[in-house]
Amino acid sequence: MSLNLHPLVVRSGELLSYIAGIALTGFFAVQLAQGEVERQGAISAFEDQVLLASSAVSMDVEIEASNPATTPAVGFSVDDAPDTSLWAPGRIADYKKSLTADLPPILGVLEVPAVGLEVPVYQTSSELVMDRAAGVINGMAYPHEGGNIGISGHRDGYFRALKDVQVGDQILLQTLEGEKRFTIESTTVVDKTDTHLLKDTREQTVTLVTCYPFYFVGQAPQRFIVTASLDTTDVNQN
């Protein structure tokens, strides 16, 4: 009798394993879909904030024009002309060309006060995006997410200012969760194929990447990487 039941038991086990596999696959797919919905929702929320800020700036300008005695509010605008005093002539030309192009959503604003850097951060690091600003490196965390937030920029544009950063300098990152503060822990020069500093991290970190040397004719052979850790004394540390 036991010999007759054995194949049935085996087939039943296989069927249960198959059903469990389908269930787990379905659960994983639902989780991915939910995560993407939440991400897109957060992006839309940030865009709404940018629109509100732009409207506020426009209203301040109108009030100032009608009443010169008033003092308008000061804020960041993605349309503000950047300081291009350190930029290469070709990069300035590329920036001007990019002004007529449509770009993906803005996810935040990166500031390094010690070197006067202030730049919008877009959700990709395409050439077009970096002609205009800075972008999140594909596969790395977004500014409002945990993990390693990788941001790339051109060495002869916005990120040329990074040549003067020092360990201990502060990085401010305006995100969907509010302002986050980071402290620069290290600056490193690596070969352009070395990506070990771009790996995900358990703690929230910021990794800034640009080509190196900063003044180089042609394709730069190395990368200059700034690594910063979250300031846990700040209220926005999620």
Q: How far apart are CA 121 and CA 1, in angstroms?
A: 70
Q: Indicate if 154 belongs to the active site.
A: yes
Q: Round the CA-based radius of gyration of the chain to a whole number and report it.
A: 24
Q: Which of 176, 178, 192, 82 is nearest to 131 (CA)?
A: 82
User: Which is the catalytic residue, given 6, 144, 196, 211?
Assistant: 211
Long-range contact pairs involving 136-140 (C-beta distance under 8 Å, separation at least 24): 136/107, 137/198, 137/209, 140/198, 140/200, 140/207
Residue 144 annotated among the catalytic residues of the structure:
no
Instruction: Single out the catalytic residue among 6, 144, 154, 196.
Output: 154
Neighbours of 125 (CB within 10 A): 19
Name the residues annotated as catalytic: 154, 211
